[in-house]
Chain A
């Protein structure tokens, strides 16, 4: 089931600005984080999101603030889409006390309940059952909030993902399973690890609505996700969306990715979401060069400031080591 693609969706000026700014912020922060990791200044396993900018921007547009999200280690775009402030994200990447998880989580573990960003997981595929639990909570609350879980194509090989989809379909839970299909499971191309590469088809077999959409096409993705979220909010049970993209960088911020076929990568780079949206703004939305430059300069400044603030923030003090292990700090026997 492929959602119809359209480039004629009506987006008002404010929405265009939000979307462009989110895509640019994601791209710039991602590029900078990879540079920082390669230079050895960022001691973090950073998982780039390049290629997912349109999927994340579309998700941000269709979710309400009270909707909840369970993401993965490849989470920068998701976090920005849900409204998590970039300075909090970057400070966490650098392990600073001012980070969103006080520096205790790191790049793979962002949590921010005020924006509904509930958790991320570093274990591939294990966020899906947790999202099912949040969905059950929404159903028991008789709330119309939607719970989204994002994951890569590789996660659909994990047992937990299938257990979660079966349970969500069985109980008709308000969960959007958003597969950000970047065609690579770590360093293995999808055709080498999946007997059937039609992942949406697997979800359909569990008894839930499933769509496949071009994840480089902002408008198609926006339309698909909007419809999915409306369906879920109306109480029709879970929906699976497979957004087809391509990983534009290595698996991690420092990983070599020369194994990626050059022609595939070049073709995907032609569809790089933020530059393409910029072209659309100029050609079809009546924006001037000054308009796009203004957003770009504003975004670049914000990203630079956030990196500087993160780098200059203090590390957590030693007293933080034993806090948050349990609800009430327990005696630490090793230090008696």
Chain B
């Protein structure tokens, strides 16, 4: 079914909420609009309402036949979602931590992503898999950013919001999208910041990046948790007379290269920043695309700032994630070599 997004310019009631509450609001609206929306996952039913509380209250409101707490069985969770989608439902499966998706990799990569193609369009699998990532307090098996693996797999959409408003609008779009979607929720984002999130059915289109800040000197391309870091870096750079344009990709597949190319054509310098491992990470492809298309325009190499090539360390004395210093020094080296 298709729900109309709010008309442009229409007054929409909003409420201050965290991304976790915003995502709950998206699922609530989707379940109210379409009784084919079914949630599956470990611990997602009340009273716990999901270990990160994203599904809190939904089983009480819609029943445990629609909000289904499952055994600890990642392959069964995703496989069941696939079968349900073939039966005409719109399942939303929760995989508690991104790392656990490795357990369900076969179902997502070999089945959900490929069924449409392998069947010549006969049996697609329009499921949404929600998962969480972020922070090093859980150690190396609960903190990996694995989005590049899925971007590398034809047939699945990959979405990672950077703020509560997009978290709601992008999740709603995933639920009603006709392709399998991987929706990645960063834990720092989910709980720390609040924003005025539209109530009711609110959608943000998949595959459309947001220009968060205009600038003429270089383009900083990012998504998810590093968006805040990059925006702060742009402020610092502005104080030094360097005007950086900031692009939040929001969706990694489809990748909005039009917005990226348009920006870099003007700024002629680009840096890609993400929390995923830099080596062979999403930035590698984005940098290659920019280089292939705009080589003659560029005033310097396209740089990347991603996680170091290590497992995510536990100790606060160690970090492999991008730091403000690494972003700033990359920007300065590019603009004032």
Q: Are B83 and A130 in contact (CB under 8 A)?
A: yes
Q: For residues 47 through 105 of chain B, which have their beta carbon under 8 Å from a beta carbon of chain A?
A: 65, 70-71, 73, 75-76, 78-89, 91
Q: A111-B119, A163-B73 are in contact. Are A331 and B79 (CB under 8 A)?
A: no
Which 10 pairs from chain A and chain B are nearest by CB? Answer: A133-B83, A129-B79, A137-B87, A102-B120, A111-B119, A327-B178, A163-B76, A163-B73, A133-B80, A134-B83
What distance in Å separates the Cβ of A160 from its nearest Cβ neighbour in chain B?
4
Q: Which A positions have Cβ atoms within 8 angstroms of B?
A: 70, 99-105, 109, 111-113, 118-119, 121-123, 126, 128-138, 140-141, 147, 159-160, 163-164, 166-167, 170, 323-328, 330-331, 333, 336
What distance in Å separates the Cβ of A84 from its nearest Cβ neighbour in chain B?
11
Max chain B C-beta neighbours (<10 A), residue from A100, A160, A323: A160
Q: Are B179 and A327 in contact (CB under 8 A)?
A: yes
A-side contacts of B293, CB under 8 Å = 336
Q: Are A111 and B118 in contact (CB under 8 A)?
A: yes
Give the complex CA separation of A121 and B106 in angstroms: 11
The answer to the question of B175 belonging to the interface, with a C-beta cut-off of 8 Å to chain A, is: no
The answer to the question of B300 belonging to the interface, with a C-beta cut-off of 8 Å to chain A, is: no
A143 to B, closest residue via Cβ:
B87
B261 to A, closest residue via Cβ:
A336
Sample 27 A-B pairs with CB under 8 A, ordered by A number: A70-B83, A100-B120, A104-B118, A104-B120, A105-B118, A111-B122, A112-B122, A118-B123, A126-B79, A130-B80, A132-B76, A134-B84, A134-B87, A135-B83, A136-B80, A137-B87, A140-B89, A164-B79, A166-B76, A324-B116, A326-B116, A326-B155, A326-B179, A328-B178, A333-B257, A333-B289, A336-B293
Give the complex CA separation of A162 and B80 in angstroms: 13
Q: Please give 13 more A-B residue pairs, beta carbons under 8 A apart, in addition to A126-B106, A330-B207.
A: A100-B122, A105-B118, A121-B110, A129-B82, A129-B83, A130-B80, A130-B111, A133-B84, A137-B86, A140-B65, A163-B73, A326-B179, A331-B254
A-side contacts of B155, CB under 8 Å = 325-326
The answer to the question of B301 belonging to the interface, with a C-beta cut-off of 8 Å to chain A, is: no
The answer to the question of B115 belonging to the interface, with a C-beta cut-off of 8 Å to chain A, is: yes
Give the complex CA separation of A163 and B86 in angstroms: 20
A-side contacts of B177, CB under 8 Å = 327
Q: Are A141 and B257 in contact (CB under 8 A)?
A: no
Mask for B246-267, Cβ within 8 A of A = 1, else 0?
0000000011010000000000
Q: Are A129 and B119 in contact (CB under 8 A)?
A: no
Give the complex CA separation of A333 and B289 in angstroms: 8
Q: Are B79 and A102 in contact (CB under 8 A)?
A: no
Q: A119-B86, A131-B83, A327-B179 are in contact. Are A164 and B76 (CB under 8 A)?
A: yes
A-side contacts of B86, CB under 8 Å = 118-119, 130, 133-134, 137
B121 to A, closest residue via Cβ:
A324
What distance in Å separates the Cβ of B195 from its nearest Cβ neighbour in chain A?
30
What distance in Å separates the Cβ of B81 from its nearest Cβ neighbour in chain A?
6
B-side contacts of A104, CB under 8 Å = 117-120
Q: A129-B80, A331-B254 are in contact. Are A137 and B89 (CB under 8 A)?
A: yes
Q: A133-B79, A163-B76, A167-B70 are in contact. Are A101 and B87 (CB under 8 A)?
A: no
Q: A101-B122, A129-B83, A336-B293 are in contact. Are A160 and B75 (CB under 8 A)?
A: yes
The answer to the question of B306 belonging to the interface, with a C-beta cut-off of 8 Å to chain A, is: no
Q: Are A136 and B75 in contact (CB under 8 A)?
A: no
Max chain A C-beta neighbours (<10 A), residue from B120, B254, B293: B120
Max chain A C-beta neighbours (<10 A), residue from B38, B119, B289: B119
Q: Are A140 and B110 in contact (CB under 8 A)?
A: no
A139 to B, closest residue via Cβ:
B65
Q: Are A126 and B89 in contact (CB under 8 A)?
A: no
Q: Are B119 and A170 in contact (CB under 8 A)?
A: no
B-side contacts of A101, CB under 8 Å = 118-120, 122
Give the complex CA separation of A105 and B111 in angstroms: 12
A-side contacts of B75, CB under 8 Å = 126, 129, 159-160, 163-164
B-side contacts of A131, CB under 8 Å = 83
Mask for B114-134, Cβ within 8 A of A = 1, else 0?
011111111110100000000
Q: Are B107 and A129 in contact (CB under 8 A)?
A: yes
Q: Are B83 and A113 in contact (CB under 8 A)?
A: no
Q: Are A136 and B111 in contact (CB under 8 A)?
A: no
B-side contacts of A113, CB under 8 Å = 122-123
What distance in Å separates the Cβ of B261 from its nearest Cβ neighbour in chain A?
10
Give the complex CA separation of A102 and B119 in angstroms: 7
The answer to the question of B324 belonging to the interface, with a C-beta cut-off of 8 Å to chain A, is: no
The answer to the question of B214 belonging to the interface, with a C-beta cut-off of 8 Å to chain A, is: no
The answer to the question of B154 belonging to the interface, with a C-beta cut-off of 8 Å to chain A, is: yes
A-side contacts of B70, CB under 8 Å = 167
B-side contacts of A122, CB under 8 Å = 110
Max chain A C-beta neighbours (<10 A), residue from B38, B75, B115: B75
